[in-house]
Structure 1
């Protein structure tokens, strides 16, 4: 019976499979030019792929915690990849999607509740925190594979632009998440190595860490440094500024396009 329960706890949810199906179908529509609106197809493809990456990010935290000693993550539904099981669906899914739509930036969502007192060893705690953003890194590498493998021949322009923009979201999420700011995964990586006194003093600041980061990003100079870093990473992965720009341009199909990124329709 216990074995059945464990298997049930790890069964991939129909919610996640539905989101994945939307990603697959709209990805096909972008690739084939089947949709009458390339922008709408890119919007649906990138948004569903972004939600898939958010689910994988949280799954990575939960799965690492399971191996670290927190056996409660299964009962909480975290191993099913169902975004509705997260501690705060609004923070974890709705807000990150809104940020992509409004600002074209990958907002890390705060989501799974790990019972840290069940886990022994600093390295395990650090690894649990690092597992999420490392998923974004892996996702970015997969999205940019055609670019750095020099395998873009035959890849339709709209799909290429969509991949470029999706990669940019993953890179922004990874960089933001790895910042050693209370409330973000980067702080979770270093927290086990800090003194008890420092951790206690910093703890009340955790809910405001992400807000502070985004407030800083409104400062033009900080914003410029941040996006220079993002562009540098993408450039190293073979993605040009034009490709990410055109991906964002197509994604925001409800706005008047710049005309720079015309995609031929079949």
Structure 2
């Protein structure tokens, strides 16, 4: 019986990537610029803060999948570089980074991508498979809570309005990402949570549609009636933390700085 050797993790396979550190630095610097009103174009500063913050959350989302898979039995994770938080290491940078950023810019919707390749055959136990899929959306939930804490603690009236608006919009992206990604749609983590508990025949029938799940969700959200109800639900969830829609809408207006020129 032949056994395929597993490459040992090389130096740097789990070291935090300079690319991720650079993205995080942009987030901090642009957030500080918005707070202090240093930028001559505050909309552009908000744009940088939101996009870099969204990219940071994407990296952490994928890292959570990878780290959970590693501890569940897939020892190939580290050698693939997924633990470096480098978005360029993901299996599909288009689905994981580029498309989600385009969705943010085009419609203010936080749609996550899936890109960490996990060797599921190395993992035993349905609960472990489900936990691996759930780990990513849980990061978005935690990220959203952290961003909404200032509102829940009553800082909305004392902190700079532009900064609070940027926080609110970025938090909305995290909430939408968490909710949408938990939908039981093939290709999304919500389906991944339930998939281990489905029969083999059902999994085989659904598998061909997995590659279209993300785009299908985005397409449905463009239906006006669905879009309105969806964002009403998002506003209700964020209202639990005293994040009012006026902040989110203003943050989105600032984010689209190119619309405010002239």
TM-score tier, shorter chain, comes to over 0.9
Hey, what's the Cα distance between the residues in 1 that align with 2:107 and 2:170?
Answer: 13
Match of 1:29 in 2: 33
- What is the TM-score of this pair, normalised by structure 1? 0.93
Q: How does 1:225-244 map to 2 (within 5 A)?
A: 225-244=229-248
Q: Does 2:256 correspond to 1:252?
A: yes
Hey, what's the Cα distance between the residues in 2 that align with 1:59 and 1:23?
Answer: 18
Answer yes or no: is the 8 Å Cα contact 2:65–2:116 preserved in 1.
yes
Hey, what's the Cα distance between the residues in 2 that align with 1:208 and 1:67?
Answer: 29
Hey, what's the Cα distance between the residues in 1 that align with 2:243 and 2:10?
Answer: 42
Match of 2:5 in 1: none
Hey, what's the Cα distance between the residues in 1 that align with 2:34 and 2:63?
Answer: 28
Q: How does 1:96-175 map to 2 (within 5 A)?
A: 96-175=100-179
**Contiguous gaps of at least 5 residues in structure 2:** 1-7
Which of 87, 90, 107 matches 1:86? 90
Answer yes or no: is the 8 Å Cα contact 2:9–2:78 preserved in 1.
no
Name the Cα RMSD after superposition: 1.5
- What is the TM-score of this pair, normalised by structure 2? 0.94
CA deviation string 1:1-43 (max 9, x = no partner): xxx9466221100000010111111111011001111101000
Hey, what's the Cα distance between the residues in 2 that align with 1:7 and 1:173?
Answer: 33
CA deviation string 1:209-251 (max 9, x = no partner): 1122122112222112211111111111211010000000000
Hey, what's the Cα distance between the residues in 1 that align with 2:154 and 2:238?
Answer: 14
Hey, what's the Cα distance between the residues in 1 that align with 2:228 and 2:55?
Answer: 26
How far 1:101 sits from its partner (Å)? 1.0
Q: Does 2:165 correspond to 1:200?
A: no
Q: Secondary structure at the match of 1:72?
A: coil
Distance 1:73 1:224, change over 3 A: same
Hey, what's the Cα distance between the residues in 1 that align with 2:70 and 2:46?
Answer: 36
Hey, what's the Cα distance between the residues in 2 that align with 1:157 and 1:68?
Answer: 44
CA deviation string 1:79-115 (max 9, x = no partner): 0000000111121111111111111110111211011
**Contiguous gaps of at least 5 residues in structure 1:** 258-266
Hey, what's the Cα distance between the residues in 2 that align with 1:98 and 1:63?
Answer: 27
